[in-house]
Amino acid sequence: MASVPEKTLPHSPLLRRILIVAFSIVVVFFAAAAIAIHALKPRIHAMVRDKTAKVLESHFQSQIEFDDFEVSLYPRVYVTITGLVMRHHGRTDIPPLVQVRKATVYANLRSVLRGDPHIALVVLDGLQIHTPPRSSSGPPLFSKTDQDLAKKYPAFIEELRADDALIVVLPSQTGKTPREFPIHHLLLRNLSFDRPADFQASLENAMPTGEINATGQFGPWNAEEPADTPGAGKYTFRNADMGTLKGLSGTLSSDGSFSGPLDYLKVDGTTDIPNFSLRTSDHPMALHTDFSAIVDGTNGDTYLNSVTAKFLHTTLDVKGEIVDVSRDIKGRTIVLDAVSRNARAEDLILIAVKGGGPPIMTGAVQLRAHIDIPEGESDLLSRLKLKGQFGIDQGQFTSTQVQGKIDTLSRKGQGHPKDMDIAGVDSQMKGSFQMGNAVMDFSNLSFDVPGASINLSGTYGLDSGALDFHGKLMLNAKLSQMTTGVKSFFLKAVDPFFEKGTTGTVLSIRITGTKDHPSFGLDHGGGSNKNEPTQAKTGH
């Protein structure tokens, strides 16, 4: 069964942090420009520096440090800040909230002398943002403000660039490794506090590893509640290595669009993995999904409203959520409900089970499953928990030898052991299952062909292929009707010991061994017995 990979959607919390910090830093340059055009005097350098520090300290609740601060107004406005460091609440026990190796503002003098100053370009070199850890009940990182920023800073920035930046998410637990997200390219155009800005972003997703490119509009900035700032655009996600999620393999690509406030982004898109496979299978296949989801930009939780997954001739409809349950455990918990009324047994076998040649069985499948993958760093399939029901109609075995034995079982079950017109019979199978630690546990497993029915319970190991099933074989015919001649005469004497009601036969059976080398036998004690025959020859 195909499971929805963790974190295949665009990393919205990461983009939110970039845009929030970028816009907040822009406040500095608006303030600098406003002061510069109203105070052309010898102390302009100190005034701009002091005002910039106060704006940053107030907005970010941070202690501000500069290595150097230069202001030039002629022949063009040129402001350079080097070694900018912002320490959140003055903390020195963690890395600074923001570090900028060099921030540069370029503008034409005539444009900044306007009532609504225009700044041509802002360049941030060596931008690093460290998001400090806090509890879910702690204060927000960016404080609300009652100031009308559009009126206080009516400036307009034509372009802001920040290349080769880095977002570092600091863990809440000491000793945990921080998570790093390289930002290869960030470009913002037409920035102001009263209109949307255009943006382009290129960043590296950590898991699965791959490149995300996004374009769209962001804003206007909501000063009262930054998380309510709207955004909309499109994204592409390329060459994502599913092997970074233990238990999966393949290369993922995704395209889609997003819209809404930052803390409630609606994301619609598609994913394609041309070579998807699970660890338990050696049959890579194309997997395509169409999805609609809501992403909470405040914490990255994703709620899957609908996912339609298609592979080979099978379609699965999935709903669920990918959420951070424990802040102390890496990863996210995946909880899904999958339903299919249009699956094929051969497809499900190929995607889940190793082995050369064609799948052992074909047929139409109805499936309902609850999927739970707790967060953690171990192999995904070892964490996978399943529970559900399935049914197979018109099943056929691809091996002529196996199908021949099924046909023989049907002939004998109907009491016509020599009737060769009974051939190619369909099998029906249904049951309930649950899975944990890569072991499938089946209950109420029934297998039916005309004239015979098998009811079993037992386990199947996904990694080992080990079988351990016990149950009943029920035949419509009596033992004496399953053969002819002298054998039939003598078997009539033991018919009463195996009767099912007034007619038919009931036998206790077991299936052990492995999927490649199964062993069928009579089960006298409800378990394996080394002294009993290991093979029950259904051809006799």
Q: H/E/C letters for each residue in 424-459?
A: CCCEEEEEEEEEECCEEEEEEEEEEECCEEEEEEEE
Instruction: Return the sign of the alpha-carbon dihedral for residues 151, 153, 154, 160.
Output: negative
Tell me which residue has tokens 């400090």.
132
Reading the block at residue 270, the tokens are 């598609």
Q: What is the identity of the amino acid at 2?
A: A
Taking alpha carbons only, the member of 444, 285, 437, 434 closest to residue 352 is 285
Q: Which residues, including other chains, have CB under 8 Å from residue 237's CB and lie 6 or more apart?
A: 8, 10, 205, 210, 211, 212, 252, 253, 254, 255, 271
Reading the block at residue 168, the tokens are 């570092």
pLDDT the model gives residue 493: 43
CB 343 within 8 A of CB 314: yes
Reading the block at residue 267, the tokens are 């994301």
Beta-strand runs (E) in 132-175: 156-161, 165-169
Tell me which residue has tokens 């054998």.
487
Give the Cα-Cα-Cα angle 181, 185, 187 (nearest 5 degrees). 125
* CA-only gyration radius of the chain, Å: 33
Residues of the chain with pLDDT under 70: 1-62, 74, 109, 112-116, 132-155, 169, 171-177, 179, 193, 207, 221-227, 262-263, 280, 297-300, 327-329, 331, 355-357, 381, 479-503, 524-540
How does DSSP assign 50-73, residue by residue?
HHHHHHHHHHHTEEEE-SEEEEE-
Beta-strand runs (E) in 242-327: 248-249, 251-261, 265-278, 285-295, 302-311, 314-323
pLDDT the model gives residue 312: 92
Q: How far apart are CA 451 and CA 469, in angstroms?
A: 21
Domain ranges of the chain: 12-338, 399-540
- Contacts by 225-228, CB closer than 8 A, 24 or more apart: 225/144, 226/20, 226/142, 226/144, 226/262, 227/16, 227/261, 227/262, 227/263, 227/297, 227/298, 228/261, 228/262, 228/263
Q: How far apart are CA 104 and CA 363, in angstroms?
A: 66
Q: How far apart are CA 263 and CA 498, in angstroms?
A: 67
pLDDT the model gives residue 35: 47
Q: In the beta sheet, which residues pair with residue 303?
A: 294, 321
Give the Cα-Cα-Cα angle 480, 484, 489 (nearest 5 degrees). 50
Helices 12-38 and 44-60 pack at an angle, to 10 degrees, of 150
Q: How far apart are CA 333 and CA 303, in angstroms?
A: 12
Q: How far apart are CA 106 and CA 251, in angstroms?
A: 42
End-to-end CA distance of the chain: 37
- Express the helix, strand and coil content of the chain in percent, nearest 5 each: 20, 45, 35
Q: Is 513 helix (H, G, I), strand (E, B) or coil?
A: strand
Taking alpha carbons only, the member of 121, 101, 104, 99 closest to residue 112 is 121
The C-alpha torsion from 7 through 135 and 149 to 181, rounded to 10°, is -30
CB atoms within 10 A of CB 418: 8
Q: How far apart are CA 212 and CA 235, in angstroms?
A: 7
Q: Which residues, including other chains, have CB under 8 Å from residue 54's CB and lie 6 or more apart?
A: none
Q: Pairing mode, if any, of strands 439-449 and 452-461?
A: antiparallel
Reading the block at residue 75, the tokens are 């022949």
Q: What is the identity of the amino acid at 226?
A: P
Q: Which residues, including other chains, have CB under 8 Å from residue 149's CB and lie 6 or more apart?
A: 27, 193, 221, 223
